[in-house]
Amino acid sequence: MKTNFFETFAGLQFKGNLQINMILNENDSLLVSVLPAPGNPQVSTGKNLPPLLFKGSPGELDEVFFQKLTGPLKQTGDLFANAEAYQQALAKAQKDSKGGKDKAGKTKSENEGEAEEAAEDLFSPKADDKQAKAEKKKLFDEAMDKVRELKQTFKYDEAIAALPDAGEHPEQVEEINTKAAELRKQKAIYASLQD
């Protein structure tokens, strides 16, 4: 059986990474989650974007998936490209503007050292690991709160899709996997009660 799924994806010309998750529900409908991420690890813009969610039967998704995915992916790709171009232009401007001595009497090499430090401070991970871990924990907790809210409204598919990525939170992999198993079990129970 030949499909053109990957050729169509290549035709989108998205410059970045895409994480695609598909969940086949018991009623033969699909929940497809597409999470775009920048291809350059130094670009921090867009790392907290929510996934694009598509629901429907396989036939319905065959007809509209790429059609509905094209616009948001184009906008996201443009956002990533603009952020990367801005970061490169900023670094070049900092380097170019530091010629000779400045008003404070610093030499060119001293200025370059300061510019490199400033660039590292702006675009590299925080030097303070505690602050970075606290931020990461906050994002994890917010995602888990969203999962709890969706679970309380019996939106199990959306709750599963909203679970934090285990790759981004290696310390909480077990908790994420346990929660995913729990949600699948509750979804099955809920579905059986609906019949």
Domain ranges for the chain? 1-124, 129-195
Query: Tell me: the pLDDT tens digits for 57-105?
Result: 888 888 888 888 888 888 877 777 777 777 778 888 888 887 544 445 5
100-133 residue pLDDT tens: 444 455 555 555 555 555 555 555 544 567 777 8
Q: What is the pLDDT of residue 3?
A: 79
Distances in Å between the Cα of 64 and the Cα atoms of 41, 127, 157, 181 are 31, 45, 20, 30
pLDDT tens digits, 12-52: 877 778 888 999 888 889 999 888 877 766 666 666 778 88
- The pTM of the full predicted model, rounded to 2 decimals, is 0.44
Residue 96 Cα distances to 37, 43, 52, angstroms: 31, 22, 40
Report the C-alpha gap between 37 and 21 in whole angstroms.
Answer: 14
What is the C-alpha to C-alpha distance for residues 1 and 95, in angstroms, rounded to an integer? Answer: 55
Residue 191 pLDDT > 50: yes
**Cα distance between residue 85 and residue 98, in whole Å:** 20
Q: How far is CA 138 from CA 22, 47, 118, 160, 171, in A?
A: 27, 14, 26, 19, 14
Q: Amino acid identity, residue 92?
A: K
Mapped onto helix, strand or coil, the DSSP state of residue 31 is: strand
Structure tokens at 160: 């599963």
Run of H or E residues at 149: helix 129-152
Q: Residues 6 or more apart from 45 whose CB is under 8 A from it?
A: 38, 79, 80, 83
Tokens of 72: 């948001």
H or E element at residue 23: strand 17-24
The counts of H helices and E strands in the chain are: 6, 3
d(CA 151, CA 158): 8
Residue 135 reports pLDDT greater than 50: yes
